[in-house]
Amino acid sequence: MSDAVALVQYVVVRGDLQRALRWTPGAVLAQACHACTAAIHNFYHDPHTQQYLQQLDSMHKVVLEVPDEQSLTSLSQRLSSEQIDHWLWVERPENVATCLALKPCPRERGRGLLRA
């Protein structure tokens, strides 16, 4: 795999967590961290993940927002149906989907996947 490939991990967070549900910024950030860690762990042996982990000093993440839980779960279902590797973080014990993270991928691929 070429070192020239710009790898990014895309993270999608629910906007209503902080605005409507009054979660603290720290709680929302924790959800993103959970989703990213779970995606990296789950897809650890993927070549893009391995390359991404070799770039500790230059990792890139792109954080995007969806309005609510329905939008997030719909996005996750669409990604699953298209066989796009990602992790939907569901906060326990509340069983609330809060965030999703794609496995690291080339920047352009991720952009195309997350367009509506």
At 78, the amino acid letter reads: R
Token digits of residue 39: 């995606």
pLDDT mean across residues, the chain: 93
Q: What is the pTM of this model?
A: 0.90
Domains of the chain and any CATH numbers: 7-114 (3.40.1490.10)
Q: Distance between CA atoms of 54 and 2, rounded to whole angstroms?
A: 13
Query: What is the per-residue pLDDT for 36?
Result: 98
Confidence label for 59 from pLDDT (cuts 50, 70 and 90) = very high
Q: For the segment 92-110, what is each residue's pLDDT rounded down to a tens digit?
A: 999 999 999 999 999 877 7
- In this predicted structure, the answer to whether residue 51 has a pLDDT above a threshold of 60 is yes
Q: Distance between CA atoms of 65 and 114, rounded to whole angstroms?
A: 11
* CA neighbor of 42 nearest in space, from 96, 76, 88, 80: 88
Is the Cβ–Cβ distance between 76 and 12 less than 8 Å? no
